Structure 1
Amino acid sequence: MSDIPTENSDIIYRVNDKPPFNQCIIGAVTHLLAIFVPMVAPALIVGAALNLPTEITAYLVSMAMIASGIGTWLQVNRYGRIGSGLLSIQSVNFSFVTVMIALGSTMKADGLHADAMLSTLLGVSFVGAFLVVGSSFILPYLKRVITPTVSGIVVLMIGLSLIKVGIIDFGGGISAKSSGTYGNYENIGVGLLVLLVVIAFNCCQNALLRMGGIAIGIVAGYVVALCLGMVDFSVLHNLPLMTVPVPFKYGFSFDLHAFMVAGIIYMLSVLEAVGSITATAMVSNQPIDGPDYTSRLSGGVLADGLVSVIAAMLGSLPLTTFSQNNGVIQMTGVASRHIGKYIAVILVFLGLFPAIGRFFTTIPAPVLGGSMTLMFSMIAIAGIRIIISNGLNRRETIIVATSLGLGLGVSYDPEVFRVLPASIYVLVENPICAGGLTAIFLNLLIPLNNNEGRCIDTAELEITSAEKNTD
């Protein structure tokens, strides 16, 4: 399929372009810097919360990287129906962190040891991933449900939710809050430095400098943080030289109750994947409507499900298409899926040699926050662009306003719907899901009015009035 260039496009390399080797490496490293810490963090968080042995946690981290590499390769190459054919990067789904901790804690209280607990958690993840695989086949028949307005709301909520993550890192991260150093001069200074460097290079006309702007900003911030004594190298101690994947290393068990809980999160991940892939298409100047878009959407969700099957088999938490990379595409102007092949190979290599991969986790939170705050805001803007691409008449305005109000409101106070049954509350406490489900419900409830045009703003009314007076 040929790319569809857009007038006044900021894209330097389009989806099917093949940049030179050196620019592919720069692009790949830039994307990796944006996702690496969020990629390995879920395994570290779950390992710490469940008090897993160090060697098990290290194995989970390595398998997360290898599975992400395999998933990214499937997404960007698009084998038949599998994959979006876009620069879609796979990474561990954060939505499963709290669920895995809750389920694992219950199993631990029941007396299960670590291997048996992981056997059940990964077994449930393995079976649950087929729910995502199955949903990919019905997506083409949901055009009345998954409209640009619905997709745009989901993308907007993803961006707005991630901004909170970015700004917390900007101030020093969760650890700084517990140590009392959150928002101090060092953290804010390093975050601002990275932010300004990224902005400066992103404004450059030189394509190479623009592509490397995020990486350069992070490197500059890392050097300053190193001089200030903010870098902790303790995470590099006592790591194995090499980690070899072993399918079902901890065995395979299944629990129906755990499956019901995890299944809900899997269906939520489909909604997030739809938003992420739509955003990737938008920032890559690809259509977000029509048969080509529907095919990409179905293939992307199918790849999401298949790679989660592979991930659970290898020993990783479930994966999904990562939204963070859409901000990188928009800022660098590089949408080439060819770069995704380099990312995939690097991820597998880092997974096999954990010491190399773990080095990325030494990047201080303010360094990441300085770049991520801007990138995540770009994702929110992509969501707005998707919404307005469908026109903003009275009906769409009501849908957007209500969905945004409830979704963003839940992000401010997730306990507002705690009175609801647990099976429903686990959905609506997530701002992305709350906003997305509200948009779907209203899109089906409010009747279409084909005679209604888009909303006319005050400036347009003044122009129309002036034209009438002139006549």
Structure 2
Amino acid sequence: MPQKPANVIFGLADKPPLGTTVFLGFQHVCLVAISLVFPALLIYETGGSPEQAGFMIDMSLLAGGLGAIMQSLPRGPVGCGYFCPQVCGPSFWAASLAAAKMGGLPLVLGMTAVAGLIESIFSRFMHKLRGLFPPEVIGLIVALVGITVIRTAMNSLTASDPQAEAFAHHGLLIGLFTLGVMIALNIWTKGNLRLFCSLIGMAAGYGLSIASGLVHQEHMLHVGQQPWIDLPVLDHPGLAFDCSLILPLVVATLCSTLKTVGDITTCQKINDEQWKRPDMTNIKKGILADGLTCLTAGVVGGFGQSTSSSNIGLSIATGATSRVIGVAVGAIMIVMSLCPKLAAVFTVMPRPVMGGTLLFAMSFMVVAGVQIITSRMLDSRKTFVVGLSLIIGLSVDITPQVYEGLPEAIRPIFGSSLSAGAICAVFLNLVFRLGLRKSAQTALPATAQAQGEAVAFLKRQGAAWGARAEVINRAAAGLSELVELLTLHGMVRQGGIDVQASFDELSVSLKLSYAGQAVELPPAPPEASTILEDQLAQRRLGGFLIGKYADQVEVARRGEINEVRLRWEH
């Protein structure tokens, strides 16, 4: 059972009051609305009509709302059970634009459904691929999610009114004002002010935008002209398919899936004070929900869906991570999809307000990624995985001209810093694992010096393997106790103690072999009154303590040789 962190106000299983839940839901929906720029831009880039853009936005909200509820399910084979809402995924932008230019909206929707099907199938094998996603790779992906948004956030933050040259910088001022209000409320307030810091900040930024003229009368007219109730699914243009788009679609789906792995891992970490490693079975269910949401989006007429890193970042900032909020977000999005007037209020949000909100939320994602990376000891191999992947990812934004001449088939990989860095990290992790020695062996003398030599050996190997310091320290304590038991009580009759240590990302294992008396592992300690005078009682106490140090202990005998096997979860 996850242990609720101290900085979380409403934890995973908590149920906030109804009013609080609704306001928190609206706060997150304001952030979800920023992603609606992707279906709108897709339609406008291909010469579509405002009606088509409205249809795709409404259907994206419908699919995303269903996905947010699906991800919040605490039981069953679908959904990670965390607050992890779905939004229009930037990973699908390049592939969707190519499909729109080739065959219009029907081809976009058909290939989006195929992408969801591919991801759903891939989720069935996800739990077997933990070796591909060690914490340093997942942490890098989480950090890159935040870094990728920098360009969008800064472009939005500096957006000004093109009709008012005298106010060339007031868009930046509004964005900074929005960000400043959010930060101030988050740092220096408690209770509801901290919970709703983002919503209050956006409202303040919205109000300042109206007062300064950044929100025009035509924006208000656009909202007023929208009907209260509509069923846009009746305008569905149909589905089309093209096999030539499969490869770029697979690349886009892989990028989206890697991002989802990072997002769900972040959810696991922020909801558990004792978090140690990604739960791949849980991630498997979350990816299935992600794939089914994307499939639903294609079928009903929406843009490709993916988990929302921005909303997860906002949940960290506010300290409200309850899955009940995810259900509220999903319900509000579904209502919005059927109420164009309400949806329009969010779609005309001033861009500087969007930029300030994105910077606020993504700050937490970048830091969360760094924390996941540094949760393991970084050897030279892992340093290169993180460092080179980060450099290649950033180069996509810093020097995009380097990738202009790439073949069309692989160009989607370098469509964003997230996709380039994430795929590079997975590839380098596979390459650098080749030839990595996973086991080591040493021989210890049956003397008083053996204890120190054993601990030094294990810590040296732990650093070489990049194992978690916490696990290596526990293993070193257990090894020290065992070697002291064998040497202090003269249980080794001849020769020394052979120690074999191994590491496989999932566990640290030790096997000690020696000729002599077997170690007894009693289920309970001996009576305290017998320990000082009875040597056998002292040995039984040592055996009991060894059983407590390790997650798993086994004793076996091979002819004249005794073996003690110890294992620690990593």
TM-score over 0.5 for the alignment? yes
1:191 and 2:175 matched: yes
CA gap 1:34/1:183 in 2 versus in 1, 3 angstroms: farther
1:163 Cα offset (Å): 2.1
Q: Does 2:136 correspond to 1:149? A: yes
Q: How does the TM-score come out when normalised to structure 1?
A: 0.87
1:230 Cα deviation (Å)?
Answer: 0.8
| Paired residues for 1:43-442 under 5 Å | 43-107=39-103, 117-172=104-159, 184-232=168-216, 233=219, 234-236=221-223, 238-244=225-231, 246=233, 249-285=236-272, 293-442=279-428
Structure 2 vs 1, CA of residues 185 and 253 (structure 1 numbering), >3 Å: closer, same or farther? closer
- CA-to-partner distance for each residue in 1:168-189, whole Å, 9 max, x for gaps? 211117xx6x779699331122
Alignment partner for residue 27 of structure 2, among 12, 24, 30?
Answer: 30
Once residues 159 and 305 of structure 1 are traced to their aligned partners in structure 2, the CA distance between those partners, rounded to angstroms, is: 22
Structure 1 residue 287, shift from structure 2 partner: 6.6
Amino acid in the other structure paired with 2:181: V
Q: Deviations over 1:251-296 (max 9, x none)?
A: 2322211333323212221111111212222233377655x72122
SS of 1:219's partner is: helix
**Count of residue correspondences:** 438
Structure 1 CA distance for aligned equivalents of residues 86 and 166 of structure 2: 31
2: CA distance between counterparts of 1:452 and 1:409?
A: 33
Q: For the residues of structure 2 that align with 1:361 and 1:393, how far apart are their CA atoms?
A: 47
Superposed CA deviations along residues 215-257 of structure 1, whole A, max 9, x for unmatched, are: 1111111111111111131532643442225379222322211
SS in 2 for 1:246: helix
**8 A contact 1:76–1:86 mirrored in 2:** yes
* Paired residue secondary structure (2:374): helix
> How far did residue 392 of structure 1 move?
2.3
Q: Gaps spanning 5+ residues in structure 2: where?
A: 439-460, 467-570
Instruction: Report the alpha carbon displacement of residue 99 of structure 1 after superposing the two structures with TM.
Output: 2.5
**SS of residue in 2 equivalent to 1:453:** helix
Q: 1:293 to 1:245 in 2, by over 3 A?
A: farther
Whole-angstrom CA distance in 2 between matches of 1:181 and 1:347: 37
Give CA deviations for 1:11-67 in whole Å, capped at 9, x if unaligned.
1111111111122122112211222122x2111111111222222221111111111
Q: For residues 349 and 165 of structure 2, what CA distance do their matches in structure 1 show?
A: 17
More divergent stretch after superposition (441-450 vs 350-359): 441-450
On the 8 A contact 1:89/1:321 being kept in 2, the answer is yes
In structure 1, distance between residues paired with 2:408 and 2:7? 45
Q: Distance in 2 between matches of 1:181 and 1:430?
A: 32
Counterpart-to-counterpart distance in 2, 1:370 and 1:129 = 31
Aligned-pair distance for 1:205? 4.6
Aligned-residue CA RMSD in angstroms? 2.3
Determine the structure 1 residue equivalent to 2:557. Answer: none
Q: Which amino acid aligns with 2:331?
A: V
Contact 1:171 1:183 in 2 (8 A): no
Query: Are 2:439 and 1:453 equivalent residues in the alignment?
Result: no
387 and 179 in structure 1: CA distance in 2 versus 1, 3 angstrom threshold: farther
Give the direction of change, closer, same or farther, for the CA distance of 1:181–1:300 in structure 2 (3 Å limit): farther
How much has 1:365 moved relative to structure 2? Answer: 1.1
Distance 2:21 2:123 in 1: 30
Instruction: Name the counterpart of 1:465.
Output: none
CA distance in 2, matches of 1:384, 1:287: 17
> Structure 2 CA distance, aligned partners of 1:247 and 1:140?
39
* Aligned-pair identity (%): 26
Query: Structure 1 residue 418: deviation in Å?
Result: 3.0
Structure 1 residues 224, 260: CA separation in 2 closer, same or farther (over 3 Å shift)? same
Higher RCO (CA 8 Å, separation ≥ 6 residues) = 1
8 Å contact 1:242–1:353 — kept in the other structure? yes
Preserved CA contact (<8 Å) 1:28 1:342: yes
Instruction: Determine if contact 1:171/1:184 at 8 Å carries over to the other structure.
Output: no
The 8 Å contact of residues 3 and 14 in structure 1, kept in 2 or not, is answered as no
Residue segments in structure 1 that go unaligned for 5+ positions in a row: 108-116, 456-471
Residue 12 in structure 1 maps to residue 9 in structure 2: yes
Structure with bigger gyration radius? 2
SS of residue matched to 1:422: coil
Letter in 2 for 1:27: L
Does structure 2 conserve the Cα–Cα contact (< 8 Å) formed by 1:155 and 1:275? yes
Cα distance in 1 for partners of 2:275, 2:297 equals: 29
* Closer, same or farther: CA 452–417 of 1 in aligned 2, 3 Å: farther
What is the DSSP-based 3-state SS (H/G/I as helix, E as strand, rest coil) of the residue aligned with 2:405? coil
SS in 2 for 1:389: coil
Question: Any conservation in 2 of the 1:172–1:181 contact (CA below 8 Å)?
Answer: no
CA distance in 2, matches of 1:62, 1:106: 23
Task: Provide closer, same or farther for how the CA distance between residues 145 and 180 of structure 1 changes in structure 2, counting only shifts above 3 A.
Answer: farther
Aligned to 2:500: none
In 2, the alpha carbon distance for the partners of 1:287 and 1:396 equals 23
- Whole-angstrom CA distance in 2 between matches of 1:417 and 1:55: 36
Judged with a 3 Å threshold, the aligned counterparts in structure 2 of structure 1 residues 182 and 147 are, in CA distance, closer, same or farther, namely farther
Structure 2 Cα separation of the partners of residues 247 and 318 of structure 1: 20
Displacement, 1:441? 1.6
Q: Quote the Cα distance in structure 2 between the aligned partners of 1:98 and 1:179.
A: 31
In terms of fraction of residues, the more strand-rich structure is 2
Tell me which amino acid in the other structure corresponds to 2:21.
C
